[in-house]
A and B are shown apart, each in its own frame.
Chain A
Amino acid sequence: MSDVQLALGGASFDGLVQVEELAGQGMITLRGDLTDDAIVTAVRDVFGVTLPGIRETAIDGAQGALWMSPDEALLLCPADLARQKTDDLSAKLQGAHALVVNVSDARAVFRLKGTMLREVIAKLAPVDMSPGAFGPGMVRRTRMAQVAAAFWMDDASTARIVCFRSVAAYMFGLLSISADEASAVNHFTR
């Protein structure tokens, strides 16, 4: 197989937080009734996690599942396993009303590292980023400036952001500006 090329070649920026284009993130979209036992069981068999509830994440090491809508989940795994896992899950869901697609190459993923990540995201998305309203274990699909995006927090100082690969450069520019040292608002650290 040919080498996987990242949209921005692994670009990174250091500022209020460290912004890094993440390599090796496999992403698989699952459409179907997320409460259907057959689908829940198949995902547990292949990804080792139970499908999360509304706007929640279920992550176990490199594998996980994110709630995207009542009939959509984004499944996470290492990129080199994505194709195999897509096939495995499709095979297990034969006959079920579900659709499984490997979207790893259709998306760009950025990781934010640093305690200021709430502020960096809050400047770009119409989302309440206060610790009481959003935290690890939750996922939010929204927009960041002018493009659709989803983000979730792995822990208090790590977040991952997913967007379409075609807007990766725009997203990286946004995140870099929002993370510029000179643009600190210190809203959440005051």
Chain B
Amino acid sequence: MLLITCPYCGVEAEETELHAGGEAHLTRFGPDSSDAEFTSYLFHRENPKGVHFERWRHVNGCGKWFHAARATDTLEVFGTYSAQTTTPPKDILDTIRAKRPGFRWRDLT
């Protein structure tokens, strides 16, 4: 069972109280972008076995969106952090680097 702590209300919520929102930290490409950029924004997603960064919403709870860093193979959650950021905070990355040396996710290592 996946237990994720909501950074807004502090509840260690079980999966059914949350809703997955897909990959985190996407760069949005709009009308003036190239076809390649728009295709990449719309369709291309990471599908790692291991470290992944995702958006989640505490839907049956405080209702807030937030980010979670977790491992897709073990369901280990490295940490959760605010939705108001475009990159994972340093402490989360440090935790992951310590636990999963050499991990790679998009351009993060």
Asked if B75 is an interface residue, CB under 8 A from chain A, the answer is no
Bound complex: CA of A140 vs CA of B62, how far in Å?
Answer: 9
Bound complex: CA of A70 vs CA of B13, how far in Å?
Answer: 17
Residues B10 and A143 in contact, CB atoms below 8 Å apart: no
Neighbouring A residues of B13 by C-beta, 8 Å:
126
Name, among A68, A69, A72, the residue most crowded by chain B CB atoms within 10 Å (CB to CB). A69
Nearest B residue to A67 by beta-carbon distance?
Answer: B9
Name, among A72, A140, A142, the residue most crowded by chain B CB atoms within 10 Å (CB to CB). A142
Residues A55 and B11 in contact, CB atoms below 8 Å apart: yes
Bound complex: CA of A72 vs CA of B64, how far in Å?
Answer: 11
Q: Closest approach, in angstroms, between the C-beta of B82 and any C-beta of chain A?
A: 11
Asked if A96 is an interface residue, CB under 8 A from chain B, the answer is no
Asked if B17 is an interface residue, CB under 8 A from chain A, the answer is yes
Give the interface size class of chain A.
10 to 19
Q: How many A-B residue pairs have CB under 8 A?
A: 33
Asked if B21 is an interface residue, CB under 8 A from chain A, the answer is no
Neighbouring A residues of B29 by C-beta, 8 Å:
none
Q: Closest approach, in angstroms, between the C-beta of A71 and any C-beta of chain B?
A: 9
Q: Contacts A142-B60, A142-B61, A143-B16 known; A70 to B10 CB distance under 8 Å?
A: no
Asked if A141 is an interface residue, CB under 8 A from chain B, the answer is yes
Neighbouring B residues of A68 by C-beta, 8 Å:
62
User: Which chain A residues numbered 134 to 164 have a C-beta less than 8 Å away from chain B?
Assistant: 140-143, 148
Q: Summarize B's interface: helix, strand, loop or mixed.
A: loop
Q: Closest approach, in angstroms, between the C-beta of B15 and any C-beta of chain A?
A: 9
Bound complex: CA of A126 vs CA of B12, how far in Å?
Answer: 10
Give the interface size class of chain B.
10 to 19
Neighbouring B residues of A142 by C-beta, 8 Å:
17, 60-61
Asked if A184 is an interface residue, CB under 8 A from chain B, the answer is no
Residues A70 and B8 in contact, CB atoms below 8 Å apart: yes
Q: Closest approach, in angstroms, between the C-beta of B63 and any C-beta of chain A?
A: 6
Nearest A residue to B61 by beta-carbon distance?
Answer: A141
Neighbouring B residues of A70 by C-beta, 8 Å:
8-9, 62, 64
Given contacts A55-B10, A126-B13, A141-B61, 17 further A-B contacts (CB under 8 A): A54-B9, A54-B10, A55-B9, A68-B62, A69-B8, A69-B9, A70-B8, A70-B62, A72-B62, A72-B63, A126-B14, A140-B11, A142-B60, A142-B61, A143-B17, A143-B60, A148-B60
A–B pairs, 5, beta carbons within 8 Å: A55-B10, A69-B64, A126-B17, A141-B60, A143-B17
Query: 4 closest Cβ contacts across the A-B interface?
Result: A69-B62, A143-B60, A126-B14, A141-B61
